[in-house]
Amino acid sequence: MVWQRITNKTLFALIPVGYYVLDSTFFITGKNLKYLISIFNSNLISEWIKLSTATLGEGAYGAYRKNSNS
């Protein structure tokens, strides 16, 4: 499963074995990825990601936002 590190819209996808990803993407390997994708591509998770990540201008967001309590 792969997704972009910085984006205007979260989108998680499966890619075939043997493909490479750019350094601007994250990836997860393992079992039950189709199940995880269905959860991660939900509106609920999309909104949570927007609220819990840094805003990078013009609506883009990505990486993570440091907890202000730290």
- pLDDT value at 14 more than 80: yes
Cβ–Cβ under 8 Å, residues 3 and 28:
no
Mean pLDDT, residues 21-43 taken together: 89
pTM of the predicted model as reported, rounded to 2 decimal places:
0.69
pLDDT number for residue 69: 52
Cβ–Cβ under 8 Å, residues 45 and 35:
no
Would you place residue 4 in the very low, low, confident or very high pLDDT band (cuts 50, 70, 90)? Answer: confident
pLDDT number for residue 13: 92
Closest by alpha carbon to 12, among 39, 51, 44, 50? 39
- pLDDT value at 61 more than 50: yes
